[in-house]
Structure 1
Amino acid sequence: MINHGSLRLRLFILILTPLVLIAALLGLWRFMIAQKTAQELFDDSLLSAGLAISRDVAISGGDALSPTTRSMIRDASGGEIFYHVTGPGGIYVTGYAYPPAATNPSDQEVYKPQFFEALYRQEPVRVLKMTERVTIENLIGDATVTVWQRMADRNAFANELSIRAGILMGILLATLAIVVWFGVARGLRPLLDLQDAIDLRSPDDLSEIKRPVPIEVQGVVRTLNRLFGQVEKSINAHQVFISEAAHQLRNPAAAVQSMAEALQDAKTDDDREKRISELVAAAKNSATVAEQLLSLERLRQPTHQDQMEKSDFRSAVEEACAEMGVQILAKGIEFDVTIPETAVPVLGDRVFLIEAIKNLLDNAVKHGGTMLSQISVVLRCDGKYVNLTVTDDGAGLSPDQSEAAFNRFSKLEHSGGSGLGLSIVSAVAERHGGMIEINQVERGASITLELPIVL
């Protein structure tokens, strides 16, 4: 038995896996947004610091920054700010020496703030360079303010944003996983209740399941109910068959026993020979009934595709007629067979097909009566079907007797048959997608077996 694992676990994985993937994509997106947000915030803080420094230098006339400005810059920037200020003519005013320079100076407007990345003391930094027209004492010219900040401070801020978002997302996923795990268990509760209800049933209880179940499980319950019905029907059919088979086998067995006892009491050699012949006939009849019962039981089994193969129905007719022809001719009955010269392909079980043909011929012999003198077999193709017709001039059989003739163990009149021959033919026809019918004739009986031809 193949174990496919827990349904609860499978549902849990199926539900949670796409959510985890989406969370991973959202995490990547959130990290990129955090990087961009940190870039924008720190650039804005650099710009604010640059403007504050520029105004403070202009107001103080080139002196160092006031403590208030320094405190404001440090608090607003989120990290240490470095600056360098030059006045008209490139004269150093205040700040740190040797500011970082752009690797590839741009050709943009002179008075437009320039952002770029560079190295300062072997550390990557983000730099803002801005130039303004200023007046310092009696000097009028361009003053340049260069402000920079370590990239590590920015990355730390971005990482902090990403970690906070990741922690929040992890908490949400963990909460969702717990909810899904217990939610799936609660959702599967009706299935477990259904299992418990079925476990409480006895092996003989094949009645329908009437327990209310969710819509998703109703198809399974309908299938189970249909299966229960089929199993119950099959069990009843087996019981009926066993009962009828026991009844049918009782008579041949009693006949064999009676003949054997009569053989023991035979007084003369002639009487003994007569009893032996009767015993042999009774034994053959008993064997025939047993064989037909076994054939019926095998025909009751479901048809598997690997048992059906393409074969020549014409050769099956020839084989059956050759085997039965000896017995028919030995009884002094005229036997005529008409078959086409070309092969007739059909899809089926060759053994069953031959057995059906032999039963048709055997039925004609056993039920023809004393008036039987001729049996004819005609095989002809009619479009997509092949028809095998067995006709005799015996006691006769009309179409209105079809139901009784094709039922198991039924006999229209007293004969040496078991009442199983035509029911076997009917079962073979049904198994092969064909049909059997009794034809209306003026004298005797005519039965046609029709099967589809394989092209």
Structure 2
Amino acid sequence: MKAISLRLRLFLVILSPLFLVSILLGWWRFEVAQDTSEQLFDRTLLSAALAISRDVAISEGDALSPATRQVISDAGGGELFYHVTGPGGIYVTGYAYPPRPETPVARDLPSYYFAKYRGEDMRVLRMIENRTIGTLTGDTVVTVWQRVNDRRAFARALAFRAAALMAALMAALALIIWFGVQIGLRPLNDLQAAIRQRSPDDLSPIRRPVPNEVSGIVATLNRLLVQVQVSIEAHQAFISDAAHQLRNPAAAILALAETLPQVQDPAERAKCERQLADAARKSARLSEQLLSLERLRYDDSTAMEPFDLNSVVEDVCRTFAAKALSGNLEFDLVLGTAPLTVMGNPVLIGEALINILDNALKHGGGAMSAIKVRASANDDSVMISIQDDGTGIPPSKVGTAFRRFSQLQHGEGTGLGLAIVEQVMARHAGRVDLVPTEKGTKFCLSFPRHPQV
């Protein structure tokens, strides 16, 4: 599903409430128009009634003046009807049968009411005054009325004019908003064009003036570019180091393979074959460690499950014990008395433990006589400690020991074992520590304890 454009989104967000307000204003304007129409037409009725009353008094009921007739015929664009009776209810002038009120009207003030006249709704004004017509003195009743439809038509005309004006204003406002939003988004379009013109190799921070509302996005993008740059540089450095490390075993294998056919002495030939196998084994181990390290850095799909750490430690140590005993080393294993449940990947944790044990075997020195492995736990953590009594690692060299392809001294190792251990522990939200000890080296692997069900 295609996302709505930012321009259209802003246009709708701004215009929608304005459209709603315009509807409310239109309804309010219609109500005002009706009220205005009522007031204007009621005043017209009152003016006509006063003019008729005056003319009846002046002419003593004979006739209406031309000015009054003009008011009656041209009042508000609608026809006026009138009826006048003199003292004693004598008919004076006007239409014969006026609309009658349903309730009595006041004598001293003009009275307005609605009534039916010839099947139509009428607005009626009745005014009662004490007058003398000829020789008669008494109440003079002036009744003036007008069609309600004429009033409503006038109100609708006022409302439609207001609605047309508001519609024109809304259309003009919509155009202004549409192009205004386009102008307001121009810095984003310029930023997009600038990013599009960049080459894939250009990961430098974006340095363009942008509105405050999008400065956070640009800052986040710049942080991402820096992270990508660092990741690419680390990856390139890893590839360079890996190529350098693989070159030596590959050269050794090639040299031995080229020399072997020329060796005729059986003892010397057997020696070359052993060297060739050792070089191939070292190359395979290095390749395996490189793949493991790369997989740990970039593969987040490793399956995690709760398991007893005792079983992994026991399996690894059972396999390693043959190597230790063949080197005349004392190998001691102490497992936890209760299940040591952790959440993780048994294969990766086993790989980390093998790397530490191999490092002890390769770099412990000729004076090393024992390796001890112990699994234990406290309330929050599960620990594996691996201790030997060999050469040891100086405190000043701890950082170097965990660095990839770094070796404290020349030996058989690849310099990847402890780097892999550190990555495995980071993947399991744990940590690896080099614990100070009087003699040799002691590593401690700490894992968060998984609650047992």
TM-score (normalizing by structure 2): 0.91
Indicate the residue corresponding to 2:119 in structure 1: 122
Q: Equivalent residue of 2:332, what SS?
A: strand
1:308 Cα deviation from its structure 2 partner: 5.3
Cα distance in 2 for residues equivalent to 1:135 and 1:120? 29
CA contact (8 A) 2:49 2:142 kept: yes
In the superposition, relative to structure 1, how do residues 147 and 355 fare at CA in structure 2: closer, same or farther (>3 Å)? farther
CA contact (8 A) 2:335 2:376 kept: yes
Indicate the residue corresponding to 2:449 in structure 1: 453
Alignment of 1:415-454 (within 5 A): 415-454=411-450
In the superposition, relative to structure 1, how do residues 245 and 118 fare at CA in structure 2: closer, same or farther (>3 Å)? same
What amino acid does structure 1 have at the position aligned with 2:87? P
2:174 is equivalent to residue 177 of structure 1: yes
2:333 is equivalent to residue 337 of structure 1: yes
Pick from 192, 195, 200 the counterpart of residue 195 of structure 1. Answer: 192
Pick from 345, 350, 353 the counterpart of residue 349 of structure 2. Answer: 353
CA contact (8 A) 1:367 1:395 kept: yes
1:3 Cα deviation from its structure 2 partner: 3.5
In the superposition, relative to structure 1, how do residues 75 and 351 fare at CA in structure 2: closer, same or farther (>3 Å)? farther
Cα distance in 2 for residues equivalent to 1:95 and 1:319? 122
1:319 Cα deviation from its structure 2 partner: 4.2
Cα distance in 1 for residues equivalent to 2:388 and 2:178? 75
CA contact (8 A) 1:399 1:437 kept: no
Cα distance in 2 for residues equivalent to 1:131 and 1:318? 118
2:161 is equivalent to residue 164 of structure 1: yes
Cα distance in 1 for residues equivalent to 2:229 and 2:335? 44
Cα distance in 1 for residues equivalent to 2:305 and 2:132? 108
Q: Equivalent residue of 1:160, what SS?
A: helix
Q: Percent identity?
A: 53
In the superposition, relative to structure 1, how do residues 311 and 162 fare at CA in structure 2: closer, same or farther (>3 Å)? farther
1:409 Cα deviation from its structure 2 partner: 0.4
Name structure 2 gaps, 5 residues minimum.
Answer: none
In the superposition, relative to structure 1, how do residues 279 and 162 fare at CA in structure 2: closer, same or farther (>3 Å)? same
Indicate the residue corresponding to 1:95 in structure 2: 94
Q: CA RMSD in A?
A: 2.5
What amino acid does structure 2 have at the position aligned with 1:7? L
1:186 Cα deviation from its structure 2 partner: 1.2
1:310 Cα deviation from its structure 2 partner: 4.8
Cα distance in 1 for residues equivalent to 2:344 and 2:25? 62
1:110 Cα deviation from its structure 2 partner: 4.0
Cα distance in 1 for residues equivalent to 2:349 and 2:395? 23
Q: Equivalent residue of 2:78, what SS?
A: coil
Pick from 233, 242, 253 the counterpart of residue 250 of structure 2. Answer: 253
Pick from 229, 241, 266 the counterpart of residue 238 of structure 2. Answer: 241
Pick from 186, 202, 205 the counterpart of residue 205 of structure 1. Answer: 202
1:239 Cα deviation from its structure 2 partner: 0.9
CA contact (8 A) 2:340 2:376 kept: no
1:193 Cα deviation from its structure 2 partner: 1.5
Alignment of 1:294-305 (within 5 A): 294-301=291-298, 303=300
What amino acid does structure 1 have at the position aligned with 2:395? P
What amino acid does structure 1 have at the position aligned with 2:45? L
1:101 Cα deviation from its structure 2 partner: 3.0
Indicate the residue corresponding to 1:51 in structure 2: 50
CA contact (8 A) 1:46 1:77 kept: no
Cα distance in 1 for residues equivalent to 2:412 and 2:124? 116
Alignment of 1:318-337 (within 5 A): 318-337=314-333
1:327 Cα deviation from its structure 2 partner: 4.1
In the superposition, relative to structure 1, how do residues 151 and 345 fare at CA in structure 2: closer, same or farther (>3 Å)? farther
2:6 is equivalent to residue 7 of structure 1: yes
In the superposition, relative to structure 1, how do residues 69 and 401 fare at CA in structure 2: closer, same or farther (>3 Å)? same
1:56 Cα deviation from its structure 2 partner: 2.1
What amino acid does structure 2 have at the position aligned with 1:340? G
1:234 Cα deviation from its structure 2 partner: 1.1
2:409 is equivalent to residue 410 of structure 1: no
